[in-house]
Amino acid sequence: MKRLLFISYLAIMQLDLHAQADRWQQKVNYQMDIQVDASANKFTGKQKLDYWNNSPDTLKVLYFHLYWNAFQPGSMMDLRSQEIGKRLIRGRADWDPRVKDRISSLKPDEIGYQKVKNLKVNGLVQKISLYETILKVELSKPILPRSKSLIELEFDAQVPVQIRRSGRDNAEGVRFSMAQWYPKLCEYDEQGWHPTPYIAREFYGVWGDFEVNINIDRKYVIAATGYLQNAHEIGHGYEINSPIPFKPSKTSTLTWKFKAPNVHDFVWAADPDYIHNSKTVRKGLVLHSFYKIDTASLKKQFESQPIRMRQAANLYGFIASYKSQWDSVLELAARALPFIDKHYGEYPYKQYSFIQGGDGGMEYPMATLLKGAGTGVVIHEWMHSWFQMMLGTNESLYPWMDEGFTSFAEANVNNFLNGNIDSFPHLDAYNAYIALSKSDYNEPLTTHSDHYNTNTAYSTNAYSKGEVFMEQLGYIVGSAVRDSILLKYFNTWKFKHPNVNDFMKIAEQTSGLQLDWYKDFFVNTSKTIDYGIDSLWDEGGQMKIRLRNYGSMPMPIDLEFQFKDGSVEHAYIPQYLMFGSKMNENPKIKRTIGEPWKWTHPTYTISIDRRLIDLKKIEIDPGKRMADGERRNNKLELTW
């Protein structure tokens, strides 16, 4: 009896495991002690890393990111930006306006650096070599498969002047925006090491637990990825959520103790004048916001607006509306949360912080650095908690899987917040993608994010084509099925490193349709879609419609007929490569299903049990979810 029970328990375990992603991944626990000399813009750090090599491979080297070395004249980031700036797109230099050639003129006390010393693995000092933003460690003893190692190192760093994402004294006057600030172990996965130099963009890290202790001048308020462990000693607005009564210390510096479980990065920011708001939005989840009112920078912002665009009559009005926007961030996030949880998976951490800092909007675990607090950027960055911070895709290889999926969710969340007044909130993304697909600087979605020839192609592909990918998937499998795919994707791959194949497999399993062709055409190439109506005629008591594929990528076809008597009918032509049909998305409307369209065949004729004389209008994909580059041939209105 006992044995039998044991077997059935095993069977249940296996079932359970089956629903999980079945891939090994590395793990690292960081323990860091940081001493900040705020007036010198420098700090020193000690790192202790517990590193689990869960791979079946023997590791002979380790790699670390030293991102801040990019902020030095002549760096790869500097040259890359200057080269891209030579290209004009629509009459404008294509470089990132925040970077331009600014790195080239940084003075020694303005550059960024991270210098590592005394790097030991399991107690033995290791040979290290510096490749600008990547540190290579040649191990004196290899790290064996499925083993744990202790890595220790010390480092010195100088906070660069704010150039990109991190730095000091940004345009809003925030003292320290501390992103990519520590020697960060590169990820090793089933594709091997990813020592991606910091040239422009995108991140990838090892999952693990962070314990970060930061010692800094007591006047600074710190906002960070982690949960503050000693709020009762710190105060600065954290004491209200502390179970231990606040007992301020009298020392000239404070040591802030943070812990962040199961994340792949750690960000923090610090300023003496941060206004700190917090809000408990449900049991066990506190949202925070940190911002400052820097009158000088706000005055600059106010005066740089064209007079006719000024929303406020004077500087005081401008500051008041700025403040109220920041003060309503937590309310906005709380309002969006139930919709987000329901559609994209439940937010599992105990904290999230909207932090003023950096130079735009940039996502980190449990936090974002924001320039301003507009709804679009606030929701966008928060959605990155799902797409990248929990679904930890390699952004360099699949930037569209975080930026595109995030933009897709952002559009839907914003539409929800606006009362769903927009029937198609993805139109801008479609227009941007289609314009790119017709331009001479188009590149396939598989391009490494640092390798795009232009910033324009990178951003349109990553954000817009990625968003189109997801909305168009709803066209192929049905929107409701696409929504289930997203939830299943979250539940299967959260806290892991999914790639495009993992997503496609979930999409196939959930929809019951074959979808490899969608990846092969839409992701792996820059082929484009264009279907059109070729001709219509009556034959044998039926109406015949011949369609033509003018494009280079196949798709299934939704057709809508409007008749003179006011009735509407649909026809659906599955793409042969799907080996099946999507469910009827509008069961109230009669739908004729045609034979599958073989993609090798340029034309296709469908028969409908109506007469041509009764027809008023016919349209391919009236919902416009298919990214058809030429819509004029999709529609035919008959005037008899």
Rounded to a whole number of angstroms, the minimum distance from the CB of residue 357 to Zn ion is: 16
Torsion of CA 306, 309, 311, 312, to 10 degrees: 30
Residues interacting with Zn ion, by CB under 5 A?
A: 403, 406
- Amino acid in the structure at residue 463: Y
CA atoms within 13 A of residue 162's CA, in its CB half-sphere:
21
Q: How far apart are CA 16 and CA 156, in angstroms?
A: 46
For 434, phi then psi, to 5°, come to: -65, -40
Q: Which is nearer to Zn ion, 298 or 401 (CB)?
A: 401
Nearer to Zn ion, 256 or 490 (CB): 490
Q: Which is nearer to Zn ion, 94 or 403 (CB)?
A: 403
**Which residue, 180 or 406, is less far from Zn ion as judged by CB?**
406
Pairing label, strands 635-637, 615-620: antiparallel
* CA neighbours closer than 13 Å in the CB half-sphere of residue 38: 21
Between 392 and 554, name the residue whose CB sits nearer to Zn ion: 392
In angstroms, give the least distance from the CB of 580 to Zn ion.
34
Nearest CA among 433, 403, 405, 432 for reference residue 527: 433
- The least CB distance from residue 202 to Zn ion, in Å, is 10
CB 287 within 8 A of CB 267: no
Q: Least separation, in Å, of the C-beta of 363 and Zn ion?
A: 6
**Minimal distance in Å, beta carbon 474 to Zn ion?**
21
- Of 158 and 406, which has the nearer Cβ to Zn ion? 406
Q: Half-sphere exposure of 210 toward its Cβ, with a 13 Å CA cutoff?
A: 27
Closest CB to Zn ion among 403 and 530? 403
Distance in angstroms (rounded) separating the CA atoms of residues 411 and 361: 16
Query: Least separation, in Å, of the C-beta of 380 and Zn ion?
Result: 6
Nearer to Zn ion, 157 or 370 (CB): 370
Nearer to Zn ion, 405 or 531 (CB): 405
DSSP string, 168-230: ES-TT--SEEESS-S-EEPPEETTEE-----SS-------EEEEEEEEEETT-EEEESSEES-
Distance of CA 221 to the CA centre of its chain: 28
Q: By Cβ distance, which residue is nearest to Zn ion? A: 403
Rounded Cα gap, residues 329 and 376, in angstroms? 11
The whole-angstrom separation of Cα 96 and Cα 87 is: 12
- Least distance in Å: CB of 174 to Zn ion? 20
3-state SS string for 541-589: CEEEEEEEECCCCCCCEEEEEEECCCCEEEEEECEHHHCCCCCCCCCCC
CB 562 within 8 A of CB 539: no
* Distance separating alpha carbons of residues 618 and 557, to the nearest angstrom: 13
**Least separation in angstroms between CB 40 and Zn ion:** 33
Structure tokens at 68: 């801040």
CA-CA distance, 259 to 269, in Å (whole number)?
15
* Pick 385 or 406: Cβ nearer Zn ion: 406
Q: Which two tokens stand for residue 79?
A: 């040259």
Shortest approach of Zn ion to residue 384 CB, angstroms?
6
**Least distance from Zn ion to the Cβ atom of residue 57, Å:** 32
We find the least distance from the C-beta atom of residue 392 to Zn ion, in angstroms, to be 14
Nearest approach, Cβ of residue 385 and Zn ion (Å)? 11
Closest CA to 472 of 490, 439, 442, 445: 445
Q: Counting beta carbons within 10 angstroms of the beta carbon of residue 423, is it exposed (0 to 12), middle (13 to 18) or buried (19 or more)? A: exposed
